[in-house]
Amino acid sequence: MHRRIATDEVDELLAAHVADQRAAIGTDATASAIQAAVATPDQVLYRNAFGTADPEASQPTPVDMTTPFDIASITKSLVGATLAMQAVDEGLVRWQTPVAELLPAWGEHSDSRGADATFLQLLNHTAGLADWHPFFEDYPVDPTPRQAQENFEAVIDDIVSMPLEGAPGAVHTYSDLGYILLTRIFERLFDRRVDELAQHRIFEPLGLQRTTYVPCDQPPLQRAVVTEDCPHRNRVISGTVHDTNTNVLGGLSTHAGVFSTADDLLTFARHLLAIDRGEPTDTAPLVTRETLQFGWSTAAGSHAGHHLAGWDTPSGENSSAGRGFHPDHTVGHLGFTGTSLWIERRLGIISVLLTNRVYPTRDNDRIKPLRIAFQERIVPPP
């Protein structure tokens, strides 16, 4: 079914939230850069870009549809969830495999309540782990490759030794820590570094030419949109990961670290939506329909929270997905840098909104109403 959206209205909305001067962001505007795209399985409904990649550059570069953005926690769905489904499809793991079987250190050090924590509970944030820890205060930022590996080993030990916040399955705590553990699990299951796994198993097969990690053994990504004026790194972040804990890990994790574009994320989401609907895909399917549909089902979630197997669902009266994206039929994810990806499965609508709302400071919450307004321009409330 073909749909239409008022592209002029979307242009007007997004353009009004962009500032070409740093001082206006957070007061009169939301970001210096915005990129957005909307599609159905067979039709691109909207795509446009606004602003500048770095307003303080001597010659600011206008943002276009090829400009890379730090997608932050959308990495959890793009990489974490996809590798998890592939591992299940290949018989390397089951959804209910105990974490202790995958990470022996978990069984040696974890709170005794965590003995029954499962692979799926790491994915849906119910393994009992805390939400976050400032590892960047404990280990060197901007590490060398050797320091990054040492940091990673130490952080894994720290996480498995932390007391749990509750019994697995009983509490829901959105946890980056669980996805750091998943990074180690995937690297062991597939015997490759996570950026290599993502490149060879996801990005290359789908032709995502502008999607990449930026590990510390490589130079910063050129033309990327700037993010925070980071007090821990004493500079404006450009072309390297914004998330400071991921920086400590050398830029590589499944909780954050990927740079991408709205077009590439549309390609990824349209591929999954075609699998979900049992329709032909342009390339070999990344995952089986059975595994995808389980990962997107309520069976992959928990009574304690609203996350599924690496994906989020709309929650609360003011969900960032907007009132037109029905919570029973929608999966997606937000990113702290000001990014979002939502898939309305029943309507067959995919929306991607990328911004750098953390520039120059993360203390800017104007992204909340912008996300809702954007979504409701695409699918108005019933």
* DSSP notation for 287-314: S-HHHHHHHTSGGGSBTTBSB-SS-B--
All domains of the chain in start order, with CATH = 7-75+196-378 (3.40.710.10), 95-192 (no CATH)
3-27: pLDDT as tens digits? 789 999 999 999 999 998 899 999 9
Q: Tell me the whole-structure pTM to 2 decimals.
A: 0.97
CA distance 226 to 56: 10
Task: Calculate mean pLDDT across residues 65-69.
Answer: 98
Q: 306 Cβ partners below 8 Å, 6+ apart?
A: 172, 312, 313, 314, 315
214-242: pLDDT as tens digits? 999 999 999 999 999 999 999 999 999 99
Helices 145-161, 176-190: inter-axial angle, 10-degree rounding: 120
Per the prediction, the chain carries an average pLDDT of: 96
Residue 112 clears pLDDT 80, i.e. is over it: no
Provide the pairing of β-strand 258-260 with 330-335.
Answer: unpaired
327-374: pLDDT as tens digits? 999 999 999 999 999 999 999 999 999 999 999 999 999 999 999 999
Q: For residue 52, what are the β-bridge partners?
A: 62
Task: Calculate mean pLDDT across residues 185-197.
Answer: 98
Residue 317, judged by CB atoms within 10 A of its CB (0-12, 13-18, 19+), counts as exposed
CA–CA distance from 249 to each of 4, 136, 140, 253, 257 (Å)?
A: 43, 9, 9, 7, 10
Which among 331, 312, 176, 308 has a CA at the least distance from the CA of 254? 176
